[in-house]
Amino acid sequence: MPQLPQINSVKAPDKVVAQATRTRRFPWLNLPFILVIALLVSYGLVILMSAIANDPDYSFTNQLTGVALGVVFMVLVWRFDYRRLSDFTTIFLVVSIVLILSPHIPGLGTDAGMGAKNWIKLGIQVQPGEFAKITVILLDASIMARYGGRLDDPREYAKALGMMLVPFACIMTQPDLGTGLVYLFIGAVALVVGGARPKYLLITLGLFIMAIVAVFLIDQVIYDSTGEYKLLKQYQRNRLLVFLDPDIDPTGESYNLKQAQIAIGSGGLFGKGLFQGTQHALGILPEPATDFIFCVLAEELGFFGVMVLLALYTALVLICFRIAGASSDLFGMLVVMGVVGMWLFQILENIGMDCGLMPITGIPLPFVSYGATGMVMNFIMLGMVGSVWTHNIQKQR
């Protein structure tokens, strides 16, 4: 019998072997994800540096500290197995309540202006409502994951909706309507992705609109009787009314909106140049480092600079969508979609209010607006998304 020829094994090139080794050793290295994060954060820091130049009220070092701490927390959360958290619904609810209500503790909370008490002093000022966004996402994801992607029972739907509304009710005691709207949108995403019946969602939307109208009508009745608004602060009413009629308050909220639109329009195609913006440098543009930082970008880098930022946001969202779609469990998908929903709402609201397309609220632009608390929180969110990717990749292997 003729002897079969010996088949020699083909050695993989050293580069391929090294890459495979790195992949096995560091399965959490999603390189496109990390690259987009690095570019987005760097771009945001450059914009912020210009926005706060020569402004003693802001510290660029503080923002860099937030980035450094955020990276550390991101890595820690990324390596943690998110699946261990799927059954801690009650704990997430309690933690959310404690975080949101902590500014009401005497001696701990501090006034943020305009009657809102949403900061606490722990050596440094911290906004616990920002960190509560993390527990709200985990709370809503854990609630909806129990239904396995289908929620048909109206009593169970009411129960799930009631638990999701608790953080919103707590944040309105500060009051912080902007952050409350973020909580509501996160809950809406969880309900849609989690398989709630469209009929229930439409009924909920209708009731929400009716509640908004009722608040305005009741508040007006109270004002007619007492001469004071009780349910909504005056500035909150003004912001909503200005959205409906931009000329109703020319020296107040309308003025802010007009200056924001002037800054955006003056940038043209390529802008006036970095550090060359005049609207914020002359103190005309309000809150250029936080609420209206998009206007600084549009004025200095123009339409081209705006498109770069939107391209980075788009890349981040698309990568997250891919991670959510590859998740092997509903809880992981809901966590990622909750994070994406939060970012999308904040992006659309912040840019929309600067353009006059959305009511003005104090919602920051993710990875761009000033604030170490918000930066750390967003990095933790990135770690949560990375954890879903990592542990699903390991499971597939």
pLDDT, tens only, 268-281 = 899 898 888 888 77
The CA distance from 307 to 270, in Å, is 11
How sure is the predictor about 23, in pLDDT bands with cuts at 50, 70 and 90?
very low
Model pLDDT, residue 222: 83
Calculate the alpha carbon distances from 338 to 59, 123, 139, 232, 358 in Å: 31, 31, 10, 28, 21
The CA distance from 122 to 266, in Å, is 41
- 98-105 contacts, C-beta under 8 A, 24 or more apart: 99/128, 99/129, 99/131, 99/132, 99/135, 100/128, 100/129, 100/132, 100/167, 100/170, 100/171, 100/174, 101/170, 101/173, 102/128, 103/128, 103/174, 104/173, 104/174
In single-letter form, the type of residue at position 276 comes to Q
Cα within 13 Å of Cα(287), Cβ side: 19
List of E strands, 38-176 = 109-110, 119-122, 124-126
Model pLDDT, residue 253: 66
Model pLDDT, residue 53: 85
Model pLDDT, residue 5: 43
pLDDT above 80 (res 84): yes
- Give, as one character, the DSSP assignment of residue 84: G
Q: Is the dihedral of CA 256, 314, 325, 373 positive or negative?
A: negative
Percent of the chain with pLDDT over 90: 53
pLDDT above 60 (res 25): no
The CA distance from 25 to 84, in Å, is 22
pLDDT above 90 (res 205): yes
Mean pLDDT of 33-40: 95
Task: Report the Cα 143 to chain-centroid distance in Å.
Answer: 20
Cβ atoms 280, 302 nearer than 8 A: no
pLDDT above 60 (res 13): no
The lowest-confidence range among 135-149, 160-174, 383-397 is: 383-397
Mean pLDDT of 222-235: 76
Q: What percent helix, strand, coil does the chain show, rounded to 5?
A: 65, 5, 30
Mean pLDDT of 271-297: 86
The lowest-confidence range among 1-15, 38-52, 100-114, 238-252 is: 1-15
Residue 168 makes CB contacts below 8 A (sequence gap 6+) with 180, 183, 184, 187
3-state secondary structure of 267: coil
Cβ atoms 270, 279 nearer than 8 A: no
Cα within 13 Å of Cα(295), Cβ side: 30
Calculate the alpha carbon distances from 88 to 196, 330, 362, 367 in Å: 21, 15, 31, 29
pLDDT above 90 (res 96): yes
How sure is the predictor about 250, in pLDDT bands with cuts at 50, 70 and 90?
low
pLDDT above 50 (res 19): no
In single-letter form, the type of residue at position 258 comes to K
How sure is the predictor about 251, in pLDDT bands with cuts at 50, 70 and 90?
low
Model pLDDT, residue 112: 62
Per DSSP bridges, beta strands 124-126 and 109-110 are: unpaired
Model pLDDT, residue 29: 67
Mean pLDDT of 188-197: 95
The lowest-confidence range among 4-8, 108-112, 254-258 is: 4-8
Model pLDDT, residue 21: 41
Domain boundaries, the chain: 32-394
Cβ atoms 157, 197 nearer than 8 A: yes
Residue range 300-345, pLDDT digits in tens: 999 999 999 999 999 999 999 999 998 889 999 999 999 999 999 9
pLDDT above 80 (res 242): no
The CA distance from 346 to 343, in Å, is 5
pLDDT above 60 (res 397): no
The lowest-confidence range among 26-30, 54-58, 228-232, 309-313 is: 26-30
The lowest-confidence range among 75-84, 162-171, 178-187, 356-365 is: 356-365
3-state secondary structure of 224: helix
**Token pair of 231 as six digits:** 């349910």
The lowest-confidence range among 101-115, 275-289, 344-358 is: 101-115
Mean pLDDT of 187-212: 94
List beta partners, residue 109. Answer: 120
Model pLDDT, residue 7: 36
- 393 against 82, higher pLDDT: 82
Q: Using CB atoms within 10 A of its CB, is residue 216 exposed (0-12), middle (13-18) or buried (19+)?
A: middle
Cβ atoms 346, 363 nearer than 8 A: yes
DSSP 140-188: HHHHHHTTTT-B--HHHHHHHHHHHHHHHHHHTTTT-HHHHHHHHHHHH
Provide the Cα torsion 381, 383, 388, 390; round to 10°.
160
Mean pLDDT of 211-227: 83
The lowest-confidence range among 19-23, 76-80, 251-255 is: 19-23
